[in-house]
Every structure is written in structure tokens, then in C-alpha cells.
Amino acid sequence: MAQINIQLPDGSSKAYDVGATPYDVARSISEGLARQAVAAKVDGSLVDLSRALEHDASVEIITLDSPAGLDVYRHTTAHLMAHAVKDIYKDKVQVTIGPSIQNGFYYDFYSPEHTFVPEDFIAIEARMQELAKQDLSVQRSEVSRQEAIELFESMGESFKVELIEDLEHETVSLYQQGDFVDLCRGPHLPSTAKIKAFKLTSLAGAYWRGDEKRPMLQRIYATAFPDNKQLKKYLLHLEEARKRDHRKLGKELDLFSFSEEAGAGLVIWHPRGAMLRTVIEDFERKEHIRRDYDLVQGPQILRTDLWKTSGHFDNYSENMYFTDVEGQGFGIKPMNCLAHMLIYKSKMRSYRDLPLRYFELGTVHRHEKSGVLHGLTRVRGFTQDDAHILCTPEQLDSEIKAVLQFVQDVMGIFGFEYELEISTRPEKSIGTDADWERATKALMTALEDTGRTFEINEGDGAFYGPKIDVKLKDALDRHWQCATIQCDFTLPERFDLHYVGADGEKHRPVMIHRVILGSVERFIGILIEHFAGNFPLWIAPVQAIVINVTDNQHDYALDVARRLRDAGVRVEKDVRNEKLGFKIREAQLQKIPYMLVIGDKEMESETVTPRFRNGDNLDPMSVEDFSAYEMQECHKYH
């Protein structure tokens, strides 16, 4: 029989018969590898272990302990869930799509006759367990588009038919386990028996293909792990995340709210929440001024013609809101860069003026579909700590490095670790290939020179330039995209920005778009969950609360609160005629750092007795000493 040459990841190669499979390759290496194998990469493409090898190729065996292997495992479990749902609900349900996602998977179902509820999960999980134990072979087949259309039409699966009709390929791949067939590219596990541990976690609604004009689907979220130990650990982690949910804590701590009367995705800040963001914004202003940024502010709406010049109208208009004023079109700003360029253009600039760093806490509005809105982390109106640096090409490297240092300093103050990635040119973009190459190289060089490791995120840059994305890691090891550094040669060209160089000629500046926290709303949502509402003293919206024991200390308590407020302490008072234990417990639930208990003893000695929110007590001290103590504690953080 003819043979082919298979190259392995360690550089070695082996000869195999034509038609051998990746599973055969795994077995030839070791039985242990074959047991752990779930898929393979053939010439860089993920395939099933059963795929026949017809020519010389490189083969890498994918195991369950790799991200790619876990992704295959979860995608197969998504099919298992759809199989179980179809077994239970029969023709009442149509299946649509079911991808793996970070930490799990979901499947969307169309079922006007049945509304899923969490109580349904018990029966679905039980059926999934039965199907897994049946050790059903998961088999791939390729058929013509027409055959596939006829098959799914006969099954009453109209959503699958629509998907197939939109495909350009003449053949499509199907996967079958038992009597369940699904449209899928694959790859998948070879058998349902390899699925060991899973859990259905939540329900949500989703429009078919993300279009609110199309049918509403029911989405079942779930997760899956190689064993029950890992699953249990994740579920405990999930429970902790629920406790820390910023939407829940935001209500309990009276920080913010949303109202259908106001409109979806629009935050209403309550006094404590407004104080929290004010503290953070004041910190931001001071840090930017210290680094030689100029504070600026642009209008909320700008003429539509300006958005056409920038390229936003052609490349971003679906995310914008527009209005008409006296027959003139205006766009409500989704970004702050245009006004900053107009400031630059307001007079002639010399190379001696550069770099110019414009900083604005700019409120922007973006059209987000209602289905993706999520508390503070995905809203329609938000404030960015936005800055634009206009510099000479020679200054670009040092400016990028300075922003990277700025990010490091700020994330250190808040106690966040983070990872970096460079997002490259998207399909929908403006600018020349040469400018994109220069911009991408500038970002990579800055990271390499400073010794920072990074990943490449292909095709996810801004439409006007590549960017460095900063993904911070919170207390639950979740990653959040916040800071970004974007390098832009294109918009300065479109707006004809220039400066006079040392040679007396006009030259084009480079623009860096950057945020440090990103959206203030989003960052606060992350902070709430990171600290579980127990904010560090320096950013706590209420740093101390004065609590009297009886009405006898009422006037002294009010005087203490006034003196602390005069000293700069963010203080509240609770002088209600309630039991001391009740008031202390309520203050603890509000996660206020310090409770200042005042009884007759404190009133006579003109002192306060501080009690920390964890129950620890400090010795009685004067109001002035407590103010000084608090100031010292704040300086530990900032």
C-alpha cells in the first residue's frame, strides 16, 4: 500500500499507510496519548481524529488539557444538550446554533410552544447523562447542499435550512450521534462517552442572527469540564461571581439604577455612585495633569459631514445616533477624537509644540442592541477617560512607552494584573497598507523594547488603526478589556493636520488614541465585582459613618460628622432612634469602611471609637486624630 510522510510537532517524521487517521498516529506514539486525544491539527487545521490522511502532512494531536481540546469537548457537549432537548420536547423545539464560548457553551432553541425554565434543566441533564453513557459514535459525513436542505426540511428544522441556503459551498458537513443530526463544521469528540461533567447554568433570550426583527430564540447556557472536580470548582467560582455581580451590589449599596422610563442602557447615578465616580474622575484628572496632558472638552454633537470626513459615517454609523437641527444633520459623538483634532487645527503648530496631549472625560453614546446590554459593563451612554496625543513620527515610540507606563502605574494602584495583545487591521478599515504596517510595527516595537509579552489578535483593530488592548484580571481571574492604545496615521491625513518642521516644511503628525480605564461605567462595574463592594478607603464613596448609641449623643454626633466633612472625610451619620447593633449591622451591609461609635464616654472625652467593617475596633481617638489616620491609610493606596 502507498505510504505518506507525517511530520510531528517535535520535528520527527513517520511513514503511514494512505488513509491512516490522526487517531492511528496518536496510537503509534503511545496508548496514553490516544486515550487523551480529542482531535488533531492537520497542516494547521482542526479535524476529527477519524479524518483520513491522504497525503504528506504535519499532524499535531490535540488533547483535552489544551484550550483547543476543551473547545472541542464543549462544542460536542452542546450537541449533546441539543440532542437531549430534541428527545424530550420533540417537534415543539427547533434547533439553531450552539457554539462553545469562554468557560462553556450555549445552544439557541426556537420553541413558541414551550418556554424553558430552570426547573427544566434537571430533565435535560438527566437525558444528557443517559446519552453520554450510551457511548454513541459521533460520525461526520459530507453531503450536497441540496441533500442537506431536503434532510432538514423533512425534520422541520427551518433555521438549519436557512443556514445551509446561505452557504456558498456545494457540500456541507453533518455530524450524527444516534438519531440526532446537526449541521456543523466540527471537529467533535469521537464518542459521547468521553463527555463526563457538565452543568446547565442559565437562560437568556436572543434574536435569530442578532436581528431584533427576526424570531426570538431561547438560549440555554451551560458549561462542561473533563471531570467533576474541575466542574465543582468552576461552579463555586460561578457562585462567588453571582455574589459579586455589580448589578446586585449596585442596588444593595445604592450606587446606581436603570429605568425603562429613561431608556435601556442609560445609567442613573445615585448620590453614593456619583461620589464614587467623582473620586475616580478627580484621580484621573490629577494623574493626567501630572503627566503633562491638557484638559479639553468637545461638544456632544458634531455635523454629519465631519463624521463623513473621519470615516465614521461609512464604517461606524450603525453604532451611532443621528439627529437633525434646522435641516442640518448632526451625529451624537461615539468617540472624542474629532473635536480634539479640531483643537489641533485651530492654529499653526510647530515641531517645537509637539507632542500635544489632549485629555477629556468625554461622555459618548453608542447604539448597542438591547440583547447585549449588561449593567454598567455594556451601556449606551458612558464616559471615557479619552486622550489623543499628536506627535512627530520620531516621538511616537517614546509616547507609546509613556502610555504603557501610565497603564502600569494606574493598574498597580487599583491592584490589577493584566495581559496585553495587539489587534491588527480589520476587514472594514481605512488607510493605506503602508500606514497600517508602520502603525502596527510601532506598537510591536514599543512592547518588545519594554520587555512586555503580548498576543496577536488578528483583524480586531479599530477601523483607522491597530491597537494594543489591555485585559486586566480581577479577583476571580476573569479578564476584562479596559485600556487601549491605538496608533493612527490615517485621521491626521483625512483632517489635513500638519506641523512646521525644523526644515520649515509642513509635515504630518501621528495621532495616538488612548484610554487608561476605558469606560468609567465599565471600570466601576469591574471594581465593584473585584472588591465585592468592599472598596479601598481612598475610593469608598462613604469612608465613615457616625453612629450614636442613644439620643443623648445626638448633637455631638452631628458635630463630629460636620468636623470630619470639613476635614475632607466622606462621612454620613446615622442618628436614628434604633438599637446600636442594628445600625452597626446595616453599616456593615453597606460595606462602609469605618463606623464611628459614640456613647456617653466618647461624648464626655470628645473622642470617637472607630470600628472597621470586618468587626475590628481601634482605640478611642480624637476627631482630628481619626482624620489624620484616615488620610494616612488613603496614602497607602494612592
CB 425 within 8 A of CB 459: yes
List the catalytic residue out of 177, 218, 384, 590. 384
> Which residue carries 497525503 as its cell?
55
Is 467 marked active-site?
Answer: yes
Cβ within 8 Å of residue 35, ≥6 positions away: none
Q: Catalytic pick from 513, 514, 570, 573? A: 513
Active site residue 487: no
CA dihedral sign of residues 405, 407, 409, 412: negative
Angle at 277 between CA 271 and CA 278, to 5 degrees: 80
Pick out the chain residues at pLDDT < 50: none
Which of 388, 522, 573, 611 is an active site residue?
Answer: 388
Whether the Cβ atoms of residue 17 and residue 1 lie closer than 8 Å to each other: yes
Please state, in angstroms and rounded to a whole number, the distance separating the CA atoms of residues 176 and 542. Answer: 59
366 classed as catalytic: yes
Q: Identify the H or E element spanning 306.
A: helix 304-310
Catalytic residue among 160, 272, 288, 467: 467
- Which own/partner contact pairs does 341-348 have at CB distance under 8 Å and 24+ positions apart? 341/388, 341/491, 341/492, 341/495, 341/497, 341/511, 342/298, 343/296, 343/298, 344/390, 344/497, 344/509, 345/495, 345/496, 345/497, 348/500
What does DSSP say about strands 57-63 and 104-110: parallel, antiparallel, or unpaired? unpaired
Catalytic residue among 337, 391, 482, 487: 337
Domains in the chain, CATH or no CATH each:
3-63 (3.10.20.30), 68-244 (3.30.980.10), 263-297+351-530 (3.30.930.10), 544-637 (3.40.50.800)
Phi and psi of 378, rounded to 5°? -145, 100
Query: What torsion, rounded to 10 degrees, do the Cα atoms 50, 51, 53, 58 define?
Result: -100
The residue from 71, 182, 386, 488 that is catalytic is 386
Look-up of cell digits 502596527: 440
- 506-507 and 499-500 as β-strands: parallel, antiparallel, unpaired? antiparallel
SS3 content of the chain, % helix, strand, coil (to 5): 40, 30, 30
- Report pLDDT for 212: 81
Question: Within 10 Å of residue 514's Cβ, how many Cβ atoms?
Answer: 27
Cα→Cα distances 621→196, 220, 618, 625, Å? 60, 56, 8, 6
Give the pTM. 0.81
C-alpha pair distances (Å), 84 with each of 96, 113, 175, 201, 206: 14, 17, 15, 16, 21
Q: Do residues 214 and 108 touch, judged by C-beta distance below 8 A?
A: no
Assess whether 576 carries a catalytic annotation.
no
pLDDT at res. 213:
87
246 in catalytic set: no
Q: What is the pLDDT of residue 347?
A: 95
To the nearest 10 degrees (0 to 180), the angle between helices 520-530 and 271-290 is 110
pLDDT of residue 270: 97
